[in-house]
């Protein structure tokens, strides 16, 4: 696996990656006819890298911090510290979301942590789009390639965005990019978590670390057979198959809703 990480996942020129992503993001905003971009900053590595790239692409950026009761205070402090570092003192708002989330969960009479967690993600999406419309900005997504392939995001929540600048980078690569961009170490080293409920961690919920999953995802994308991947990564075949199944089961999240072609449907 170490050779794979060295020759494949870890061989990026992060100066070049930064230049390409910043330029592409700037061009995307310009071509959209919008004035700038907005990012939800959570205190995690993905949103920190995305916010940093946005601040390099345009002066017309805005950040929302949207904590809930399950958001660790350290995350809020890390988010605000990053915003200050990026010069966003006058270009951000902190909007607690518990009151809105509680009203939604009361309406459907559910306190299930997964249902409520997804309501939190979709509430944040609504706030981001409302503020983006107010400013005439785009919503800049923070999802990385690992999360997208595994389906580890909320459909029409954190998956509801206009563009995904780091969607072509695996989580382990995003951390490397964060180091290059001098994102605070407290964020770079922090275990990934959507914090949709207390104690939630991405790797705990997925049942596999990104250091293990990313090389498997990388080789799956290259079209390698499961047995080959198991040998090359030294990951148990059963885990390779489980990761592949996660990719398969979440495909609907990555595709637009299917429109049935009535003319070509048989009776």
217-250, pLDDT tens digit by residue? 999 999 999 999 999 999 999 999 999 999 999 9
Six-digit token string for 201: 């961690």
Domain residue extents for the chain: 13-206
Q: Is 253 within any annotated ligand binding site?
A: yes
16-66, pLDDT tens digit by residue? 999 999 999 999 999 999 999 999 999 999 999 999 999 999 999 999 999
Q: How far apart are CA 125 and CA 211, in angstroms?
A: 29
Pinpoint the alpha helices (H) of the chain: 2-4, 14-32, 45-57, 73-85, 98-107, 113-135, 145-150, 171-180, 185-188, 202-206, 210-221, 226-233, 237-249, 251-254
Please give the CATH topology (third level) of the domain spanning 13-206: Rossmann fold (3.40.50)
Q: Is 193 within any annotated ligand binding site?
A: yes
Q: Is 43 within any annotated ligand binding site?
A: yes
Q: Is 154 within any annotated ligand binding site?
A: no
Q: CB atoms < 10 A from the CB of 226, how many?
A: 16
Given a cut of 80, whether residue 2 has pLDDT beyond it is: no
Q: How far apart are CA 190 and CA 203, in angstroms?
A: 12
Contact 35, 137 (CB under 8 A): yes
> Among 47, 86, 87, 49, which residue's Cα sits nearest to residue 67?
47
Q: Is 46 within any annotated ligand binding site?
A: yes
Confidence at 6, pLDDT banded by 50, 70, 90: very low
Write down the catalytic residue from 75, 78, 147, 214.
Answer: 147
Residue 147 annotated in active site: yes
Given a cut of 90, whether residue 10 has pLDDT beyond it is: no
> Tokens 């949103």 identify what position?
47
The β-bridge partners of 37 are 61, 138
Q: How far apart are CA 17 and CA 31, in angstroms?
A: 21
What's the pTM value of the predicted model, to 2 decimals? 0.93
Q: Is 47 within any annotated ligand binding site?
A: yes
Residue 228 annotated in active site: no
Write down the catalytic residue from 46, 75, 144, 158.
Answer: 46
């Amino acid at each position: 696996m170490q050779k794979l990480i060295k020759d494949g996942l870890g061989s990026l020129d992060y100066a070049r990656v930064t230049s390409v992503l910043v330029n592409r993001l700037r061009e995307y905003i310009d071509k959209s006819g919008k004035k700038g971009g907005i990012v939800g900053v959570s205190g995690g590595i993905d949103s920190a890298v995305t916010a940093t790239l946005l601040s390099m692409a345009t002066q017309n950026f805005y950040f929302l911090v949207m904590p809930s009761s399950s958001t660790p205070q350290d995350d809020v402090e890390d988010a605000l510290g990053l915003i200050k570092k990026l010069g966003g003192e006058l270009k951000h708002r902190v909007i607690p979301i518990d009151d809105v989330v509680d009203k939604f969960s009361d309406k459907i009479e559910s306190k299930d942590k997964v249902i409520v967690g997804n309501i939190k993600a979709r509430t944040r999406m609504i706030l981001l789009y409302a503020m983006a419309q107010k400013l005439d900005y785009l919503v800049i997504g923070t999802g990385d390639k690992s999360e997208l392939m595994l389906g580890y995001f909320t459909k029409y929540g954190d998956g509801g965005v206009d563009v995904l600048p780091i969607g072509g980078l695996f989580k382990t690569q995003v951390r490397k990019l964060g180091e290059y961009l001098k994102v605070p170490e407290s964020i770079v080293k922090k275990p990934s978590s959507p914090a949709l409920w207390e104690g939630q961690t991405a790797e705990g919920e997925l049942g596999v670390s990104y250091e293990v999953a990313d090389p498997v995802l990388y080789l799956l994308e290259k079209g390698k057979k499961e047995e080959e991947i198991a040998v090359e990564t030294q990951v148990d075949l059963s885990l390779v198959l489980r990761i592949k199944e996660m990719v398969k089961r979440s495909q609907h999240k990555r595709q637009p809703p299917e429109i049935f072609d009535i003319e070509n449907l048989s009776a």
